[in-house]
């Protein structure tokens, strides 16, 4: 989750382990991720990404260039598909932008959500 391994502490590992093994977490994860591989569900479900070009809501996408969980190349798929997207990339940053680059994360998000929209 983190690019900067110096941020990985015993406390962080313990917290992540508690969160990952809390009651119901494993069942919820199986339901969410398992649905992607459920062949019966695929017969009636249209993946959201297939409709991405029709989305009209302005979208902010933040991506850590060094994300080992969701590789950076994935950002470009959404960037090409969504008509109203703003992509911000953070170098030397993993999956947890909000932790590793807290100040920049907050600045970008606040600026985006408080921006005046053009009529």
Which of these is catalytic: 5, 76, 88, 95?
95
| Contact present, 96 and 2 (Cβ < 8 Å) | yes
* Active site (annotated) includes residue 88: no
pLDDT digits (tens, 9 = 90+) for 11-26: 989 998 999 899 999 8
| Contact present, 101 and 93 (Cβ < 8 Å) | yes
pLDDT digits (tens, 9 = 90+) for 45-69: 777 788 889 998 999 999 999 999 8
Domain boundaries of the chain, sorted by first residue: 5-114
Distance CA(47)–CA(36), nearest Å, equals: 9
Res 119: pLDDT: 55
Q: How confident is the model at residue 8 (pLDDT cuts 50, 70, 90)?
A: confident
How many Cβ atoms are within 10 Å of 27's Cβ, its own excluded?
Answer: 10
Dihedral angle of Cα 17, 70, 63, 19, to the nearest 10 degrees: -10
Pick the CATH number of 5-114 from 3.30.360.10, 3.40.50.720, 3.40.50.1820, 3.20.20.370: 3.40.50.1820
Helix (H, G, I), strand (E, B) or coil at 98: helix
Q: How confident is the model at residue 36 (pLDDT cuts 50, 70, 90)?
A: confident
pTM over 0.85: no
């Amino acid at each position: 989750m983190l690019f900067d391994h110096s941020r990985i502490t015993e406390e962080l590992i313990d917290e992540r382990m508690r969160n990952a093994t809390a009651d119901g977490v494993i069942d919820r994860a199986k339901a969410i991720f398992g649905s992607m591989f459920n062949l019966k569900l695929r017969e009636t479900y249209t993946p959201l990404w297939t409709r991405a070009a029709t989305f009209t809501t302005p979208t902010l996408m933040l991506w850590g260039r060094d994300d080992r969980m969701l590789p950076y190349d994935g950002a470009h798929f959404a960037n090409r598909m969504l008509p109203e997207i703003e992509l911000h990339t953070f170098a030397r940053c993993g999956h947890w932008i909000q932790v590793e680059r807290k100040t920049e994360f907050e600045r970008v998000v606040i600026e985006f959500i408080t921006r005046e929209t053009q009529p």
